[in-house]
Amino acid sequence: MNMHSIPRSTERRPLSLVVRGRVRSRPVYVDLLDISEGGCKIRGGLGFASIGDRVVMKVGGINAPLGVVAWVEGKEAGVAFEGEMHSAVLDYLCKMQGASDAHEDDDARRRL
């Protein structure tokens, strides 16, 4: 099974955060690439996860629902949450990301 054969029930929102999580009960740091109410896409090192592994993550200081790895392609994996992340939480995370990006852009302009 690959990522293209899994139907999506909700729209994924792009997000770029480094999050701490646990895969196979061991701590990992992964890049969170996108997120929705029902799951997310993460990137780690080769072999960091296998289909069926349970995943626990804290995203922006908020505990994400427990998840299961649904697909793996190279260093990327799709996580299907066992519950749902509330849309207001997703709005907050995306807004927080946007504020962080704007702050970094302002800092870069000041250095020029």
pLDDT (tens digit, 9 = 90+) per residue, 29-85?
999 999 999 999 999 999 999 999 999 998 888 888 899 999 999 999 999 999 898
Q: Could you give phi then psi for residue 23, rounded to 5 degrees?
A: -125, 130
Q: What's the confidence (pLDDT) of residue 111?
A: 38
Domain boundaries, the chain: 3-111
- Better-scored residue on pLDDT, 101 or 96: 96
pTM of the model: 0.77
Q: What's the confidence (pLDDT) of residue 95?
A: 85
Question: What CATH number matches the domain at 3-111, 3.30.70.141, 1.10.540.10, 1.10.10.60, 2.40.10.220?
Answer: 2.40.10.220
Within 8 A by CB and 6+ apart from 2, the residues are 71, 73
Q: What's the confidence (pLDDT) of residue 43?
A: 96
Q: Tokens for 85?
A: 């992340």
Beta strands (DSSP E) in 1-104 are 13-23, 26-35, 39-43, 54-59, 62-63, 67-73, 76-81
DSSP-based helix, strand, coil % in the chain, nearest 5: 25, 40, 35
- Band (pLDDT 50/70/90 cuts) for residue 98 is low
Q: Is the pLDDT assigned to residue 92 strictly greater than 90?
A: no
